[in-house]
Amino acid sequence: MNPELYLADLEAKPAALATLAGALEAADPWDGLPQDVRRVLFLGMGSSRYAAGVAALRLRAAGIDAYADHASAATSFPADAHTLVVPISATGGSRETLDAASRHPGRHAGGPSFVAALTNAPDSPVTRGADLVVPMLAGEERGGVSCRTFQHTLALLLALESRLTGAGRDVAGLVRRAADASADLLGRRDAWLPMVLELLDGPHGVYTIAPAERLSSAEQSALMFREGPRRPADACETGDWSHVDVYLTKTLDYRALLFPGSRYEDQAMDWVRQRGSTVVTVGGEVKDATAAVRYAHDDDPDVALLTETLVAELVAGRWWAGS
């Protein structure tokens, strides 16, 4: 892992997204899925599972039976002829994901389930036994941290949602807007990054808060603070915050990144106001937040889903490089 290369990986996000958008315009990466899918089972760990959790929620909202399991779970849904199994691994070699996928051999390997592996390494072990391989097209992450692959995983899972629901969504156009948004944040970082670095630099770590529909943003952001600069960080869903994390504001110098969009954020902010906690919002203004970071297209929740973790990633990169 290397902080300078990690920052270079972040700076390459707009170009990598443009490449992905072009690929999505040229062909549907999920072409070849069977027509009889009744259930979708995502398998992954870490960032892969974060992205899958949001994808599963969206599919359930569309009426499709979908689940995102820890690949490390001892048991899950049994192999089934109407189940689409999607093992997700950026490197293609996550031990837990490989173990879980081994319980679901693809149809061409004699199993009942259709297996579509999503990976940034198309010739890796996770593709063995798969009926379809979907490349992330994120390029090599030389910094050793999943950042572009996380973003591309989300985009490709949105493309899967569009195919399974028949929505016919312009996912390539969405990805291009996310590229614009990422370029905007990167291009203006000298204007907002020093302020956010100062506001979040407290003695008790950083807390990240996001609505259920974009919980992956909070989870990935907290992971970036832990993985690079090795700072304490934890994620919480906005509504759940008032039930599980509010207590910390009474005893800690509580500093948080809030990703707006939940109907319950005012409930959380009531406690923030009372206890003088520091909250920086990303992509929207929230009353009594200490500061806000805005960016192009941040009024589109799906652009936010693909973009907003870049704020935490850049903060983590700066802390990591300076540590």
Indicate the fold that domain 3-171 takes in CATH: Rossmann fold (3.40.50)
Q: For 98-122, what is each residue's pLDDT tens digit?
A: 999 999 999 988 899 999 999 999 9
Q: What local confidence, expressed as pLDDT, does residue 1 receive? A: 79
Q: How far is the first Cα of the chain from the last one, in angstroms, to the nearest whole number?
A: 14
Q: For 131-153, what is each residue's pLDDT tens digit?
A: 999 999 999 999 999 999 999 99
User: How far, in Å, CA of 212 to CA of 169, rounded?
Assistant: 22
Predicted confidence band at 249 (pLDDT cuts at 50, 70, 90)?
A: very high
Domains of the chain, residue spans: 3-171, 188-322
In this prediction the pTM is: 0.97
| Number of Cβ within a 10 Å radius of residue 207 | 29
User: How far, in Å, CA of 254 to CA of 138, rounded?
Assistant: 35
Any bridge partners for residue 84, and if so which?
Answer: 40, 114
User: How far, in Å, CA of 310 to CA of 295, rounded?
Assistant: 11
Q: Do residues 241 and 213 touch, judged by C-beta distance below 8 A?
A: no
Q: What local confidence, expressed as pLDDT, does residue 147 receive? A: 97
Residues 6+ apart with CB under 8 A from 78: none
Token pair of 261 as six digits? 């969009």
Mean pLDDT on 36-49: 96
* Three-state secondary structure call for residue 142: coil
CATH assignment, 188-322:
3.40.50.10490
Sign of CA dihedral 319, 308, 200, 149: negative
Question: CA-CA distances (angstroms) from residue 164 to 39, 59, 186, 213, 313?
Answer: 10, 8, 34, 19, 31
Strands 83-89 and 278-282: unpaired
User: How far, in Å, CA of 227 to CA of 86, rounded?
Assistant: 25
Q: How many helices (H) does the chain have, and how many strands (E)?
A: 13, 10
Q: Do residues 117 and 126 touch, judged by C-beta distance below 8 A?
A: yes
Mean pLDDT on 169-195: 98
Backbone angles phi and psi of 152, in degrees to 5: -70, -35
User: How far, in Å, CA of 113 to CA of 92, rounded?
Assistant: 20
Q: For 270-285, what is each residue's pLDDT tens digit?
A: 999 999 999 999 999 9
Q: What is the DSSP string of 239-275?
A: HHHHHHTTTHHHHS--EEEE----TTHHHHHHHHHHH
Token pair of 156 as six digits? 């490709």
Predicted confidence band at 323 (pLDDT cuts at 50, 70, 90)?
A: low
